[in-house]
Structures are given as structure tokens and as C-alpha cells.
Chain A
Amino acid sequence: GESVGLHLPTLSVQEGDNSIINCAYSNSASDYFIWYKQESGKGPQFIIDIRSNMDKRQGQRVTVLLNKTVKHLSLQIAATQPGDSAVYFCAEKDNYGQNFVFGPGTRLSVLP
């Protein structure tokens, strides 16, 4: 069945360093992926998305890479800041294009 998972449950980085958060997905038919950021006490917030016809997409300080061959997704955050501390989820669109399947999340902690 469909499943989305993350390699690391927690990640600690020094302020100013780059962060890389990884995600593995199992459904090769998924064609749309989103990274969400969830801060404490808030709902998930859209960060960046990518469709399966692309392998890289850049936003402001964030880059998403998609490797369809190994079904792997990553989120790169440049010059990580304290405000980036949160839980990050990858989510894939299911076969019916109706709802997203979320991974378990990675907690990013930014050290001063």
C-alpha cells in the first residue's frame, strides 16, 4: 500500500548551516509531493511542492529534490535559522488525487 516515511526522526543543526531532511515514499504512481512545516500549536504550513515531471525545485532558502528512481524526496534549507525549528512532513498525493499521505515527520532543532 501507499506509505511515506522519513529516514531520521530528529535532526539538530547549527544556526547558519544547511539542513537536509529526507523522505522515502513507496508509491511509484504518486505524482505530486509537498513539504509541510508544523510549528508547535499550529497546523501544517506549506513550504514547497514538486511534481513528478521535475527533479528539483527551488524556493526562498529551500530546495526540494525528487529522485523517482529510488523514490526519495529531500528538503534542503539553506542558512538554517532559529525560526526554522519545527517538525517537517513530506506528503504525497495518492492515486485518486484526492488526499495526501503524510510521513511521520522529522523534528528539526536549530542550535545557537
Chain B
Amino acid sequence: ETGVTQSPTHLIKTRGQQVTLRCSSQSGHNTVSWYQQALGQGPQFIFQYYREEENGRGNFPPRFSGLQFPNYSSELNVNALELDDSALYLCASSEELTTDTQYFGPGTRLTVL
């Protein structure tokens, strides 16, 4: 098991609502990356946070936003939920921007009805 934790484990929302997902990084890791994994597909990079600043973003609309806190934990916020947002959301933590050795959490399963 990695030291990366995510909450909640499961979540059900309706279209148009907003959701906040949380991630606690492994001790000593100051970089957090978020991924979306649709059913039957590989994870897709959403964005990365390093020392409380966004440091790179994948092909996701602005309604996907995030935060990183001084203790390096992170939040992923999604506004105006759409059905296609249903997925497993993974966070991964690593040291000093390098993602070569990143440790994934178990994910949050989001279902949008």
C-alpha cells in the first residue's frame, strides 16, 4: 500500500452539481497529480500541483480546478457535472516535480446521474 489516501471512496452526484475530491500525499511528497480514469481506459492526466501552484494541465476544461494546501494535500473540484465525468479519479504524489516515481492512491469512484 502507498501512503496516498483519497476521500471519499465513492460518490454519486447529479448532472449540474459540483463535487470536491480530496487527496493526502505520501509523507515527504510535495507534488500531486490528478488523473481521470474512465471505465475500461487508462488514466488521463488532468493537472499537477507543486508547492501550492498548478504546474501543468492536460486537456480538461476550466470547470476542472484544483488546490494544494501547505501540507501538500490537494483537492480536485469539478463544477457543472456532466454524465461523462463519471469515472475513477486518481491522485498520485511524488517528490520535487518528478513523476518518474509517483505513487497512486486508490481513487474516488464518481458516478454522475
Closest to A90 in B: B42
Q: Known contacts being A96-B56, A99-B58, is A91 close to B42, with CB within 8 Å?
A: yes
Q: Which residues of B contact A83 (CB under 8 A)?
A: none
Are B100 and A32 in touch, CB under 8 angstroms? yes
Once the chains are docked, how many angstroms separate the CA of A93 from the CA of B97? 13
Residues 27 to 78 of chain B near chain A (Cβ within 8 Å)? 33, 35, 40-45, 48, 55-56, 58
Q: Report the separation of the CA atoms of residues A102 and B46 in the bound assembly, to the nearest whole angstrom.
A: 12
Residues of chain A at interface, number, CB under 8 A: 22
Contact A103-B42, Cβ < 8 Å, known A43-B104, A43-B106, A45-B104: yes
Q: B95 CB to closest chain A CB, in angstroms?
A: 14
- Please state if B48 and A99 are interface contacts (CB–CB under 8 Å): yes
- Check A102/B44 contact, CB under 8 A, given A43-B90, A46-B101, A96-B56: yes
Q: Is the interface of B mostly helix, strand, loop or mixed?
A: loop
Q: Which of B2, B4, B42, B100 contacts A105 (CB 8 A)?
A: B42
Please, how many residues of chain B have a CB less than 8 angstroms from a CB on the other chain?
Answer: 26
Binary contact readout B73-113 vs A (1 if CB under 8 angstroms, 0 otherwise) = 00000000000000000101000010111111111000000
Given contacts A43-B2, A98-B48, A100-B99, contact A89 B107 (CB under 8 A): no
Chain A residues packing against B (C-beta within 8 Å): 4, 32, 34, 41-46, 49, 89, 91, 93, 96, 98-105
Pairs A–B under 8 Å by Cβ, sample size 23: A4-B42, A32-B100, A41-B106, A42-B106, A42-B107, A43-B2, A43-B92, A43-B105, A44-B104, A45-B2, A46-B101, A89-B42, A89-B43, A91-B42, A93-B99, A96-B56, A100-B45, A101-B45, A102-B35, A102-B42, A103-B42, A105-B40, A105-B42
Besides A43-B90, A49-B100, 14 other CB < 8 A contacts? A34-B100, A42-B107, A43-B2, A43-B106, A43-B107, A44-B104, A45-B2, A46-B103, A99-B99, A102-B35, A102-B44, A104-B40, A105-B40, A105-B42
